Amino acid sequence: MEVLMPEPQIYVERTLAIIKPDVIDKEEEIEDLILRSGFHIIQKRKLQLSPEQCSNFYAEQFGKVFFPNLTAYMSSGPIVAMVLARNCAVSYWKDLLGPSNSLRAKITHPHSLRALYGTDELRNGLHGSVSISSAEKEIRFIFPEAILEPVPTGQRARDYLNLYVKPTLLAGLTALCKEKPADPM
């Protein structure tokens, strides 16, 4: 009888999460919600960004009306930055965050983190990367020592599993089956 096994998957997508200055006192509560949502916290760091660092971090927002207020807000106190990992980390984190405008989130996504912890459209409590490429860039910015290896997907992932993982497992399981314990109990 053949046992059906699910296709092996590699859960290594990462995203950046930031607890912003005005909700830093809710750090433990937010981390608990993150962990209960299936994320793993790979790295964590508490820091305070200068206005210049905030300007560099949010460079894509430069020129928008809210940019000066955003950099002032993000540099107003300490933040907690975390690298989160799980399958489809970026999209799951965006779903958990809800809309960037906390006032809208309270109406349309009342159980989202921004609805729970944000106060207005600027002070939305948390940051999340919008894409895999922006996540990599933002992680490198906050965690410059981080090693970000490319995530194997599709055929590359299957090739890796077939070339390295399956032979090792097969040899180990075969050796284990050949052993007969002296006292099985």
* Residues in CB range of 173: below 8 A, 6 or more apart: none
Q: In what order do the strands lie in the sheet with 126-128?
A: 40-47, 79-85, 14-19, 126-128
Active-site residue, selected from the candidate residues 40, 109, 111, 127 = 127
- The packing angle between helices 89-97 and 132-142, to 10°, is 80
| Annotation marks residue 109 as catalytic | no
Query: Hey, CA dihedral for 163, 169, 173, 176, is it positive or negative?
Result: positive
Pairwise CA distance, residues 56 & 23, whole Å: 22
- List residues with catalytic annotation: 127
